[in-house]
Structure 1
Amino acid sequence: MHKKGLQYVYRCTYVAAVGGLLFGYDTAVISGAIGFITDKYTLSPAQTGWIASCALIGCVIGAMLAGPVSDAIGRKKVLVFSAVAFAVSSLGILVPWGLSAFVLFRLIGGIGIGIASMIAPLYISELAPAAIRGRLVSIYQMGIVCGILTVYFVNAGIAGLHTAEWNIDTGWRWMFGSGLLPSILFLVLLIIVPESPRWLAGRERLLEAGTILDRINGAAKAKEELQAIRDDLSTKENNFADLLSPAMRKRLLIGIILAIFSQVTGMNAILYYAPEIFKSTGDGASSAMLQTVLIGIINLLFTLVAIRYADQWGRRKLLLIGSGGMALCLAIIGTVFYYKAVGSYLILVAILAYIACFAVSLGPMTFVVVSEIFPTAMRGKAMSVCIFFLWAAVYLVSQTFPMLQAAIGEAPTFWIYMSMSVLCYVFVWKMVPETKGKTLEEIGASLKQ
């Protein structure tokens, strides 16, 4: 692959990864605002839970709509729609309307998150050369992690501007409103990137598709790849019912179960409730917040490790290493809570090691594998279904973690997540194929066997 082609595909990848940054930013902004919203509107615990999680309903809707809509009008146009949804949500919450309006605009923002979570990795995978596709799709996960870290600091900066009373009345709106800036940046950057060449080929816009592939891979390779794409598109499968056909069933099962495992192994429980977990170990609130930022930093550093080794070690190996390491760390966390040895630094080390294992495996590799295993004609719809289940699992974990804590205690709760990690290891070992170094069409052909 020539140097200019490599620069071009990286530029397109980084633009798409801004969608991941918005995903992380808009998902995590609630963490700094929820306390002020609760005080302003005197919310009950049930109302607080709804306000904190209402965006997830939008995520589920966005994920399900993104696939068929992107098949109809193109990947790039749907990414533009997600940027608009982020901007409308940020601006709408910035305006001092009531709580019902807040829920409405959070739902709109959630639709943007759901769309970005599905279309951005799909777009990158359809543009990326086989040799570096794992690295490029993993950059999308880095965007998510950077968005989460960025909004932690933005929230802290806004909260420190004025008094607590100002934060309760106005400050939290500025936290959400700050998302308008990266939304506009995303819209502007999308101007410079092309449509997916595989989507163009599916619409018989072969000259445009060939021009993009030529720019990435050179003329000879582009011609060969375009022919492989056309052969792959010759499948008659192109609607949701065809996902249950014999040729698609195994792929759909792999995609759905891997997406579910990426959440039911407990990552979001730790991300969303980290300060409360650390406070339950006896640490003060300020120390707990500092440790939470440390989680974000570890998450970013080990996502960079995944980017470095995704195409060298392979997706399957990283998933096995990560899920096995997560199981061990969760066993240690549960045991520390069981023996009430929570004053030691062992639990912090175990949680950080768990985050590191997730960041090199299930975090980025779920998006990589799910974006690779489906044929071009079905990729949008199939990924919509997989990401729908991912968001449903996010909602399940975020709602049940505090309930499990109250009902059975911390130790059994973390042992449940440990059991899920063990099951994930077995599933990857038995079912998930290695896809490194293969074109999307070669992966599809191997899964038909």
Structure 2
Amino acid sequence: MPAEDAQIPLLSPMSRDLRSPSPPPSTDASDVKAFEATSVVDVPSSVSSAEPAATAIPSPSYMVALLAVCASISGFMFGYDTGYISAALVQVKDDLSHRYLTNGDKEFITSATSLGALLGAVLGGMSANAIGRRGVLLVSNVIFVVGTIIQLAAKTVWTMIAGRFVMGWGVGCASLIAPLMISELAPAKYRGRLIVVNGIMITGGQLVAYFINWGLESVKHGWRVSVGLCMVPAVTQFVLFWFLPDTPRFYVMNHNLDKAKQVMRKIYKNPTEAFVEAQVNEMVASNSKVPGDNPWQQAWNSVRIVHTNPANFRALILACGLQGIQQFTGFNSLMYFSTTIFEALGFDNPTATSIIIAATNFVFTIVAMCIIDIVGRRRILLWALPIMMAAMIVSAIAYHYIGISFHDDAVDIAAGNIHGWGIVIIMMMVMFAGSYAIGIGTSAWTGVELFSDVNVRSVGGMYATCTNWAGSLVIASTFLTMLVNITPTGTYALFAALCAVSFLFIFFLYPETAGLELEETSSLLQDGFGVKKARQLRKQRRRQRQNTHDNA
């Protein structure tokens, strides 16, 4: 074995190397400082890369898929909200405040959910360790329904904005917890694909919303029907999770090992007791006690630890960077305003045209689910981002030759060949949406797996999700203004430049985590960003699995 490979110990599924018991909780500054210095997970060295696991890992049961799908209903809610508002901005006509919506109205209505979601993500992140991942989802369902009811009753623009803001709180909580919950449940072999299930539900929700809006286009107040249907997934998820458990890692964090073992027996097919014990012990070993007299003090100390522990801070940079890339490369400008854009370009049925973009996003998200754990997150991103950049550059050129200029409440078109260039723009948007869906659209939600300790993972996820919604807020509240002030050509050229910067970020900083156990991924960032270390660790993991297979 090469010396460089031998230097990186692997976590074995059967490892029983445990840390010393954690000291009693404390809020002393010295205790917090001591924890900050030691909270990186020490990877047990008792199993070398050539040593086979003592027992074959059992296959996951239907319960893993059930929990993943139920958690991903949050993604459907998120996607449906994004999809219905795109068409509603056009279909609402003078139904609110007895006047047609201005560009400012559209930006306020759209961005209100993003602002609420930004605050909701903070609420979800700070309470996930106190009331559980499942508890946060149940609360988010109630908030989502309340926001929907306010929108249904809205008679003015500002009431609509208020309803969207309240709904945003629920969306923000749920968008944080769903990928976190899936990452904590899923075996390493399937983790990427199961997290992509959440992405499929997001894109599926968008597509369903577009089809519903298309069907209701000629129905008076049809947009209110599409708003009311938001309650269906929220109520469904609430009922399902009322009867389902939380994640084993949450139970371990709260010292309920019996419940953790009970859930482990459900999420694997016929696991041996030795396997269950070893898995729970491994979670215990990676679960350092955060100082604090109660869950809320511990949550605040977790915030400090994320910033002061070097490995966790690197994970924070990567997780937030991925979410920033997802937003600032411009995709949500399509989701929020595609109907408005296609109407401005003169398409007879802009809602139906927008379905093409949503369908592309949905189909390529399914493709991502099939290949993400085989090809790897990093490699896919390095292929997808240049394609996204090229699509934005061609779109900028097309808008230039159309000669389109946006004003506060009107659109001027100078060129006569708008139809031909309009087709080019649709083709580029399809290419952009497909590349986005297969790449950053799904991979951004895997960043939470890089945090070294289960106690800080929810806080790290909170920061990442807040970055996502902050970016969404910026795009939603400025996109139409950018079209007016720097022209569509300048806007899409800016998005192309941000795609280029994003490529450099992934190339130099983002390590490949496909195929690694959740506890292994956290070891990558101890001494740097771990791009090279990840390659070595994945080679060793493949070698170990091959040895296990040969000795079976």
Q: TM-score range by the shorter chain?
A: over 0.9
Render the CA deviation track for 1:242-269: whole Å, top value 9, x for unaligned. Answer: 1111232111111112111111101011
Where has structure 1 moved over 6 Å in runs of 4 or more?
none
**Correspondence for 2:228:** 177
Instruction: After TM superposition, give the deviation of residue 192 of structure 1 in Å.
Output: 3.8
Q: Distance in 2 between matches of 1:402 and 1:98?
A: 21
Alignment of 1:20-419 (within 5 A): 20-37=75-92, 39-40=94-95, 41=97, 42=99, 43-95=101-153, 99-161=157-219, 166-167=220-221, 171-217=222-268, 218-219=271-272, 220-234=274-288, 236=290, 238-245=301-308, 246-280=310-344, 282-286=345-349, 288-340=350-402, 343-344=420-421, 345-419=423-497
**Correspondence for 2:522:** 444
User: Contact 1:15–1:190 at 8 Å: present in 2 too?
Assistant: yes
Render the CA deviation track for 1:53-86: whole Å, top value 9, x for unaligned. Answer: 2122111111111011111110001111111112
- TM-score normalised by structure 2 residue count: 0.75
AA of the residue aligned to 1:152: Y
Instruction: After TM superposition, give the deviation of residue 159 of structure 1 in Å.
Output: 3.7
- CA change 1:8–1:371 in 2 (3 A) is same
AA of the residue aligned to 2:248: P
Q: Distance in 2 between matches of 1:96 and 1:261?
A: 34
Q: Distance in 1 between matches of 2:142 and 2:289?
A: 34
Secondary structure in 2 aligned to 1:39?
coil
- Alignment length, in residue pairs? 439
Instruction: After TM superposition, give the deviation of residue 306 of structure 1 in Å.
Output: 0.6
User: Contact 1:127–1:196 at 8 Å: present in 2 too?
Assistant: yes
Instruction: After TM superposition, give the deviation of residue 145 of structure 1 in Å.
Output: 0.7
Instruction: After TM superposition, give the deviation of residue 137 of structure 1 in Å.
Output: 0.3
- TM-score normalised by structure 1 residue count: 0.92
Identity %: 28
Q: Which one is further off, 298-307 or 268-277?
A: 268-277
Instruction: After TM superposition, give the deviation of residue 435 of structure 1 in Å.
Output: 0.7
- CA change 1:24–1:175 in 2 (3 A) is same
Instruction: After TM superposition, give the deviation of residue 16 of structure 1 in Å.
Output: 0.8
Name stretches of at least 5 consecutive residues in structure 1 with no aligned partner: none
Instruction: After TM superposition, give the deviation of residue 152 of structure 1 in Å.
Output: 1.5
User: Contact 2:110–2:336 at 8 Å: present in 1 too?
Assistant: no
RMSD: 2.0
User: Contact 2:192–2:514 at 8 Å: present in 1 too?
Assistant: yes
User: Contact 1:90–1:176 at 8 Å: present in 2 too?
Assistant: yes
User: Contact 1:60–1:391 at 8 Å: present in 2 too?
Assistant: yes
Q: Which one is further off, 198-207 or 230-239?
A: 230-239
Q: Which one is further off, 372-381 or 355-364?
A: 372-381
Instruction: After TM superposition, give the deviation of residue 222 of structure 1 in Å.
Output: 2.7
Q: Distance in 2 between matches of 1:145 and 1:202?
A: 33
Secondary structure in 1 aligned to 2:189?
helix
Instruction: State the structure with more CA Rg.
Output: 2
Q: Distance in 2 between matches of 1:404 and 1:339?
A: 18
Q: Distance in 2 between matches of 1:100 and 1:327?
A: 37
User: Contact 2:192–2:372 at 8 Å: present in 1 too?
Assistant: yes
